[in-house]
Amino acid sequence: MPLGTVVTVFEERIVDAEYWQALCDGDRHASLAAVRRLRASGLTAAQIVADHVVPAQRLIGDLWLAGEWTVAEEHAATAISEGVVHWLGSFSDPPSSDRPLVLVSCLEKEQHALPALIVSEALVEAGYRVNYLGGSPDPDDLVLQVVRLRPRAVLFSGSLTSSLGRQKRLMAQIGTLGLPVIVGGAGFGSDGSRAEALGATAWCASPAHAVELLRTLPERTERLRMPEPTMADEEAAWIEEHRAQIAGYVVAGLRDADHFSDELARSARGWLAELEGLADHLVGCLSAALVTGDETIMVEAHSWLAQVLVARDVDTVLLVEAWSLLAESLRGHPLARAAVASAASFAEQSVSDDAEPGASGRGAADTQRASSSGSGPSDADEDARNDPV
């Protein structure tokens, strides 16, 4: 196929072939040459991002999920995409000094910065001044920055559902200042329910939606008091405090399983390097489910992890064992154990329904594909939503 044509990708997504090849090769110079050509053809920065950068990132996420790309390959391609967005943003007219200031940041522990960068550049293009903090900010430093700058609003990007468990207190702290908090990204799902549960002022579905919210939301909100933590909040806080130990317990238990060595010999070994990250993500999803009251988060995490294991030719019996080990580590935390048990029960029922002749119900994996895809820890998988925030 000649360079400069388009490549048809999963779900009929298209991306410029030269740009896609540059991402595959990890070649930032070639990627910039492709973007220069697209810009010279008359495409705006927003069109290039929406029609080429974002679909390419989505494809990278699909390839990781299928086990065809490594995390290192994803990181290289995502870094190139971030550079491209920065370069395209350099052509925007600088906003006037009297324009409102918006602070844009990822959530704490959220490393996927590309969606936040894209929305930052969209806000600059719309005439707003932007203070962009990037990925995984220190929450105390972020609050100090908010107090110092007193922005028009604070925008948070959350690509991973497992990033939500730490955010309720941060949202509440900003709420005591009377500043609007807008959130978005795949981790928040496809509507505003998780955002509302965490105390955000508004949920946004796209950069354009963020611009519209800034035009319509009041400049200041009612100053809220710090809420008393609920039992679910307390269990989530305990899980976050001991997150590394809980994930380590799950990984150690899997490695000690009687058939683990046989499974390791049978399947591709590459998935082993991802095991600790997958376990950590699973634990983070649990705390997110507790603070949001959204039981579908663990259902999504269960079915998503099944897809990851199947794609890597790993027997999903390891998923059953991982779920059991996670439950074991939660003794004394009844709400967390109930969330884990409920997700496992749902998955078992889905398998049972699908096994019935003529069953029309969708299985757990289908549920995941139809839901918010903020369940996976892959860089590109979550950096690459069509409407990143």
Distance CA 322, CA 320 (A): 5
Q: Which of 3.10.180.10, 3.40.190.10, 1.10.1240.10, 1.10.287.1260 would CATH assign to domain 6-89?
A: 1.10.1240.10
Contact of 14 with 32, CB cutoff 8 Å: no
pLDDT digits (tens, 9 = 90+) for 27-82: 999 999 999 999 999 999 999 999 999 999 999 989 998 889 988 999 999 999 99
Contact of 361 with 354, CB cutoff 8 Å: yes
Cα 225–Cα 226–Cα 227 angle in degrees, nearest 5: 105
The answer for residues whose C-beta is within 8 angstroms of residue 55's C-beta and 6 or more apart is 9, 13, 14, 15, 384, 386
Residue 189 pLDDT level (bands cut at 50, 70, 90) = very high
Residue 259 pLDDT level (bands cut at 50, 70, 90) = low
Answer whether 6-89 and 231-355 agree in fold.
no
For the record, the structure tokens of 334 come out as 């009844």
Find how far residue 270's CA is from the centre of its chain. 23
Superfamily of domain 101-216: Cobalamin-binding domain (3.40.50.280)
Output the average pLDDT for the chain: 86
Q: Which tops the pLDDT comparison, 203 or 266? A: 203
Closest CA to 351 of 319, 374, 373: 319
Contact of 379 with 71, CB cutoff 8 Å: yes
Task: Note the pTM of the prediction, 2 decimals.
Answer: 0.86
Contact of 178 with 220, CB cutoff 8 Å: yes
pLDDT digits (tens, 9 = 90+) for 331-349: 999 999 999 999 998 877 7
Is it the case that residue 177 has pLDDT exceeding 70? yes
Helix residue ranges per DSSP H, 101-165: 114-125, 139-149
Distance CA 389, CA 385 (A): 9
What is the residue extent of each domain of the chain? 6-89, 101-216, 231-355
3-class SS of residue 3 = coil
Q: What CATH number is given for 231-355 in this structure?
A: 1.10.490
Distance CA 117, CA 86 (A): 8
Radius of gyration of the chain (CA): 21
The pLDDT score that the predictor gives to residue 389 is 52
Q: In what order do the strands lie in the sheet with 181-184?
A: 129-132, 101-106, 153-157, 181-184, 202-203
Distance CA 161, CA 286 (A): 9
Scored b (16 or more CB within 10 A) or e, 85-101 reads bebbbeeeeebeeeeee
Enclosing H/E stretch for 6: strand 6-9
The pLDDT score that the predictor gives to residue 234 is 97
Helix residue ranges per DSSP H, 329-375: 334-355, 364-370
pLDDT digits (tens, 9 = 90+) for 5-21: 445 444 445 789 999 99
